[in-house]
Structure 1
Amino acid sequence: MKESIDKTVISKVIIDRLPLYFRTLRLSRDEGMEIISSEELGQRLGISPEQIRKDLASFGQFGKKGVGYHIMDLIFNIGKILGLDKNWQIAIVGLGHLGWALAHYQKFDSLGFKLVAIFDNDPNKIGQCIDGIQVSNLDCLKEVMQEQMIHIGIISVPGVYAQEVADQLVDAGIRGIWNFAPRKIKVPDTVRIINEDLSVGLSSLSFHLARQSQIEE
């Protein structure tokens, strides 16, 4: 793999496809496969083999012509490109239904993330233990975040509280936020944020289904 990469020439579209490659390669590995061609990888993802080869060539030389890609090697290299070898520490803020589900997500560790803290302001939840992690009072967020050297905060609170929580995370020195609250939040340019609005996704799906129903009628 190339020693250095000019990140300015790597498009967001390519970067967004890398996790898809990573996930599909891991599934292929779990099926017992050792080598995969760009053609087969493309069939599984609905992406042309040419596009896959072009995407990967943006980061270095992988695989051999006529042979394909060694799956374990490619998993390792894409994981490194994605920074999944950094063992990022993460925290969840908000232990509602979604926060509870995220807290029990079993694949954080295998993806290179370690859940180390959970916060809430409900006295009935504070002090509970989830898989060995004690739920902390939201008032202690900054102290715990800095003690645990947490890099990523997951916001799963009602929308009305999302900006306040984001401000607390920023003040605690957070580097990245994964926001599940149904509200856009503002953070400094130094903090990366990903918004996951479930209502937007479902509404988009509803639109396409409704259009399809009209065509069928």
Structure 2
Amino acid sequence: MTARTSTETARDIPEATVARLPVYLRALVTLADSGTTTCSSEELARAAGVNSAKLRKDLSYLGSYGTRGVGYDVDYLRYQIAREIGVTQDWPVVIVGIGNLGHALANFSGFRSRGFRVVALLDADPARQGELVAGVDVRPFDELDEIVGEQSVAIGVIATPAVAAQAVADRMVTAGITSILNFAPTVIEVPEGVDVRKVDLSIELQILAYHEQRKSGVHVAPDAREQVS
């Protein structure tokens, strides 16, 4: 088995562009909420944190939605990007692992507003089962297959400790889940046709620590480096 991290879209949009489309969508939502109805590529690029040339190239893969001298209709472009990335429909999601992180994810209000509906919270710990989190009952992990079948779930979220993540992923794949968001601090392997996105907060913090160290001019001594695995 090999780890998959992305899927080519039917229109062969580059993966780097696909990764930026949700950023553009978020920027457009913010602009719309502030009352902005049209914006230039420069304004949208600034709101999204990219350069305008890159933004124009990315949007060219979707079609021609801008008007020369006017810019982009914010609501229309927002809809087109949302449709392209599939969040104009309602995606049922299951979360496995209802510890601190699982609780936080279950309570995240952004799921619903972005086209995702948490239909089940699952945990193998009997002590967790029966809890009510964000209005959803925590159910036994053994019910995964039944829930996936009943709710037509294609997306699963893993919020378990690392030691359990691979077994959870295997069970998700067997149940019919074809996309996995992995928060466990480990690499999971899945068969061809199953997509995995990994979110590792500790890695992101370590990257920030690297940049902070460079800004402060602190250098790690050779003997200190040897002690870091």
Report the TM-score range of the alignment, normalised by the length of the smaller protein. over 0.9
Q: Gaps spanning 5+ residues in structure 1: where?
A: none
Q: Which residue of 2 aligns with 1:34?
A: 37
Alignment-mate amino acid for residue 33 of structure 2: D
Higher-RCO chain (CA-CA 8 Å, sequence separation at least 6):
2
Tell me the matched-pair count: 211
Helix, strand or coil: the match of 2:139? strand
State the partner residue of 1:73: 76
Query: What does residue 191 of structure 2 align with?
Result: 188
SS in 1 for 2:67: coil
Deviation at 1:215, TM superposition (A): 6.5
Whole-angstrom CA distance in 2 between matches of 1:6 and 1:195: 23
Counterpart of 1:205 in structure 2 is 208
Partner of 1:64: 67
**TM-score (structure 2 length as normaliser):** 0.88
Pair 1:89-2:92 in alignment: yes
Query: Is the alpha carbon distance of 1:215 and 1:43 closer, same or farther for their aligned partners in structure 2, counting shifts above 3 Å?
Result: farther
2:163 corresponding residue in structure 1: 160
For residue 7 of structure 1, give the secondary structure of its aligned residue in structure 2.
Answer: coil
Aligned to 1:7: 11
Q: Distance in 2 between matches of 1:189 and 1:209?
A: 39
| 1: CA distance, partners of 2:195 / 2:79 | 24
Unaligned stretches of 5+ residues in structure 2: 1-8, 220-229
Residue 213 (structure 1) shift: 1.0
Secondary structure of the corresponding residue to residue 108 of structure 1: helix
Identity of aligned residues (%): 41
- State the Cα distance separating 1:205 from its structure 2 match: 1.0
Alpha-carbon distance, 1:16 to partner? 1.1
User: Would you identify which runs of 4 or more consecutive aligned residues in structure 1 move more than 6 Å?
Assistant: none
Q: Which amino acid aligns with 2:72?
A: Y
TM-score (ref. length: structure 1):
0.93
